[in-house]
Amino acid sequence: MSTIYDVARLAGVSAKTVSRVLNGDGPVGEATRKAVDQAMRELGYVRSNAARMMRAQKSGIIGLITGAIGTHHQPVIKQGLPDLHIVQGVQRALDASGMTVMIADTGGRKDRIPPLIETFLSHRVEGLIYVAEYHQEVTLPRVPDDTPLVLANCFDAIGTPAILPDDRRLQSDLVKRLIAAGHRRIGFLGLRTEMVAAKLRRTGYLDALAAAKIARDDQLITHVDFDEPVVGAQLLWDSIDRMLGIANPPSVLCCGNDQMAMMVYGILRSMGLRVPEEVSVAGFDNYRAVSETLYPPLTTVELPYNAIGARAGERLLAMISGEIQKDQSPILVAGPTHWRSSVTEVRAPNLVSFKRFREENE
Amino acid sequence: MSTIYDVARLAGVSAKTVSRVLNGDGPVGEATRKAVDQAMRELGYVRSNAARMMRAQKSGIIGLITGAIGTHHQPVIKQGLPDLHIVQGVQRALDASGMTVMIADTGGRKDRIPPLIETFLSHRVEGLIYVAEYHQEVTLPRVPDDTPLVLANCFDAIGTPAILPDDRRLQSDLVKRLIAAGHRRIGFLGLRTEMVAAKLRRTGYLDALAAAKIARDDQLITHVDFDEPVVGAQLLWDSIDRMLGIANPPSVLCCGNDQMAMMVYGILRSMGLRVPEEVSVAGFDNYRAVSETLYPPLTTVELPYNAIGARAGERLLAMISGEIQKDQSPILVAGPTHWRSSVTEVRAPNLVSFKRFREENE
DNA sequence: CATTCTTATGACATCGGTGACATGACATCG
DNA sequence: CGATGTCATGTCACCGATGTCATAAGAATG
């Protein structure tokens, strides 16, 4: 690979002049510039980042770590999408700044995180972003104080800057929308209670009920570990069977995520129930591979992974450029509700409740 | 960030000695080594890759580009998983070699590829891998001859080394398995015919029929652009309706991928048909978020993305270390069939056909 | 004991680009 | 016309790690 010296020789100028052409600092004569450009093209010159950053003491690299599993026993990446969308969001935010994003995937192995951080540091990254697969608490090895770190989709005990989905608000928005559509008996099939998101969403669900002055009914609330290989489906079947068997059964089931909703479709139908005519179904995530493809398409709220990534990127840039904002609380990000045909409007469009819904959510 | 000189000063030795401790070349006295180790720990020293690679003229970095869309109009990443799994495979293959993988995501924009390649070259990557979202033909900008390039999940017109899924073989394996289970009328709902994989899979389907001496029936073969926002579902509904309406309807539907299968579940059930009792369904991909979560779980073949990535990594390493294998033909990778309850065994376990199936597939 | 070998260490140049400073040729101004 | 400013370009040192060669102190050898 050729160097500026090669280019300089070919163009008959000094290396410094080539550098000036490259960077557009200092003035360069028109003829000289042309000669240099020509020489660069002829040699297929690409400038070495190593040499450059050595001098500049700046790498222009952001390190991003993804794919680590949480504390849960299930190491399998089934979904994998959050990572991807968050990464894209990060990239979008950093694009304009001229930073290069280096991504390292742990392949689900926690023990790979320290060496990865080490590698990043050896590349003198200007900042680090850690992306978790799902909303969770994490514990990362310490990084040097002069390397800013942002957590995306997770948080830690020592108050590292974090960007998190606003699960509570999202669930509340969705349930409010269901209420606005006329639903009063709303079943809540939550995720495993150990999951951070599960608790928050449950709270959001209760928020919405309270706001509409609908009494809470614990028969309508359950948490299911539907993800478990075989028993998962059975547990879910049982929960649904129980919930639909009560005196005043729900007209809609709010599922912990879109995947659960997908399973619920199958279960309801195998019970001989039509979706959404007899039971409506709502999801969570707007995991589009599912929500848009399900038949009928799924009403759900969008977990704004892209935005989370973008915010994380922006925040990191701010930290790099020196704005002191170390001890800010986590940034919460919400997203839109996607209204699709898996949920019926219980009455003919109820203008009053619609209007109220919109007023309350401006 | 501290340098070897800082460490050297603190340990009271020369920089070169520190370097020797770091790299384990040249001999170092026991006491000296200890002093240096101590100093490094005290300063939290991490060696600078930039300086190192400048000297060594080797970066130890592999550049990986993902997320570019093909020539199709639909820029939306719905699935996103192939990329991820292929990337993990690559990482696994390169892990042992000590290479660092730098990943850049195009965010679906083709015009970002050239600048990304440029960035990678400026980091003096030792090799490049381009990962496509789905099996397709691509055209990449030229890269310098001394930087090896491997294509994963795609190929180009100029014979760049490529690793591809063996769609034909995979589909054939699946259909053979269906035949072994007693199915004779097998519907084929393929992907859009423009897709490379669609043609290959159709050929594989015909291979399997031919091998079992089952006559081809074009009424059982169709290709559906099910991915299209609204009309997609309608097209699919219509195709299924038509296929099930013929004189001797299929007992199983082979879908173009697992997402289509998910939609087919919904459509069949909305037609009042039970899955799998009245119609069996098979997918393609083993997109686990879908295949394992669908109710009932989906029979499908596994598109071995992880293996594709691993092969790509291995091949790249071979090219870097100088094995000349430029003009080898693409490497095809197959994967296992996952037999789940979405397909019935038409007869009581037919030992003869099972035996034949296994013999033919050893 | 002199010679050769080994071990432990350091001095210095080098990789490729760029910042600091210098220089020469004109142009501008009082 | 001399002083000053601007433009175009060059010289040189430096970033941090490491390869090459040198050197000094002991150990092994004859």
pLDDT, tens digit, 9 for 90 and up, residues B167-189: 999 999 999 999 999 999 999 99
B11 CA → C3 C1’, Å:
35
Spatial distance between the Cα atoms of A183 and A16, rounded to a whole number of angstroms: 73
The reported pLDDT for the residue numbered B92 is: 87
Give me the mean pLDDT over the B27-41 stretch: 95
Report the pLDDT value the prediction gives residue A98, as an integer from 0 to 100: 82
Distance, CA of B60 to C1' of D20, in Å: 24
Closest CA to B270 of A233, A272, A263: A272
Split at pLDDT 50, 70, 90, the class of A346 is confident
Give per-residue pLDDT as tens, B49-86.
999 999 988 898 999 998 764 444 343 445 556 777 89
For the CA of B16 and the C1' of C11, the distance in angstroms is 10
Residue whose CA lies closest to nucleotide D18 C1'? B55
Share of chain A above pLDDT 90, in %: 70
Locate the chain A residue with the closest alpha carbon to B342.
A266
**What pLDDT does B76 receive?**
43
For residue B350, pLDDT beyond 80: no
Query: Cα separation of A165 and A138, whole Å?
Result: 15
B102 close to B125: Cβ distance less than 8 angstroms: yes
Out of B48, B83, B263, whose CB is closest to A295? B263
Strand partners, A102: A63
Do A54 and B54 count as a contact with CB atoms less than 8 A apart? Answer: yes
Q: How high is the mean pLDDT of chain A?
A: 89
Residue-level pLDDT at B210: 98
Residue A133: predicted pLDDT: 87
Question: Tell me, what's the pLDDT at A307?
Answer: 95
* Nearest protein residue to the C1' atom of D9, measured from CA: A17
Give, in Å, how far the C1' of D20 lies from the CA of B19: 15
Residue A77 has a pLDDT of 44
pLDDT at A326: 64
Choosing among B41, B59, B62, B123, which should be mutated to test the A contact, i.e. which has the most A CBs within 10 A?
B123
Which nucleotides in chain C lie less than 7 Å from some protein C-beta? 7-12, 14-20
- Tell me the per-residue pLDDT of A77-94, one tens digit each, with 9 for 90 and over: 455 567 778 988 998 899
Burial (Cβ within 10 Å: 0-12, 13-18, ≥19) of residue B27: exposed
Token pair 């589909």 in the structure block, residue: B171
Better pLDDT: A289 or B120: B120
The band of B360, judged by pLDDT with boundaries at 50, 70 and 90, is: low
- Per-residue pLDDT tens digits for B144-166: 988 999 999 999 999 999 999 99
* Mean pLDDT taken over chain B: 89
**pLDDT score of B71:** 41
* Confidence band of B228 (pLDDT split at 50, 70, 90): confident
pTM of the model: 0.86
State how far the Cα of A199 lies from the Cα of A21, in Å rounded to an integer: 58
Question: Which residue is listed with tokens 């005196």?
Answer: A247
pLDDT at A225: 92
Report the pLDDT averaged over residues B327-344: 93
From chain A, the residues in CB contact with B67 under 8 A are: 88
B-chain residues near A105 (CB < 8 A): 84, 87-88, 91, 101, 103
Alpha-helical (H) ranges within chain B are: 4-11, 15-23, 30-43, 49-56, 81-95, 113-122, 167-180, 196-211, 231-245, 258-270, 288-291, 305-320, 351-360
Q: How far is CA B229 from CA A58, A285, A296, A322, B74, in A?
A: 46, 19, 12, 45, 10
Q: Identify the burial level of B131 via C-beta atoms within 10 angstroms of its C-beta, where 0-12 means exposed, 13-18 middle and 19 or more buried.
A: buried
pLDDT band at A349 (very low <50, low <70, confident <90, very high): very low
Q: Which of B330, B305, B324, B321 is nearest to B150 (CA)?
A: B330
> Best residue in A3, A46, A57 to probe B by mutation, most B CBs within 10 Å?
A46
When scoring B5, B46, B342 by the number of chain A Cβ atoms within 10 A, the one with the most, hence best to mutate, is B46
* CB half-sphere exposure, B88, CA atoms < 13 A: 20
Tell me the two tokens of residue A4. 């500026």
Rounded CA-CA distance B28/B111 in Å is 52
CB contact under 8 A, A101 and B104: yes
Find the closest chain A residue to B289 by CA distance. Answer: A78
Distance CA B138, CA B131 (A): 10
Is A54–B53 a contact, with Cβ atoms under 8 angstroms apart?
A: no
Q: β-strands A300-301, A280-282: how paired? A: unpaired
Nearest to B289 by CA among A165, A72, A262, A255: A262
Q: What percent of chain B has pLDDT over 70?
A: 91
By C-alpha distance, the chain B residue nearest A229 is B292
Say what the pLDDT of residue B352 is. 52
pLDDT digits (tens, 9 = 90+) for B262-277: 999 999 998 999 999 9
Question: Residue A249 pLDDT > 80, yes or no?
Answer: yes
Q: How far apart are CA A310 and CA A312, in angstroms?
A: 5
Q: What is the pLDDT of residues A295-342, one digit of tens each?
A: 899 999 999 999 999 999 999 999 998 776 666 789 999 999 999 999
* Cβ pair A189, A232 in contact under 8 A: no
B29-CA/C7-C1' distance, Å: 9
Q: Are B235 and B242 in contact (CB under 8 A)?
A: no
The two tokens of residue B60 are 């130890």
Cβ atoms of A307 and A335 within 8 Å: the answer is: yes
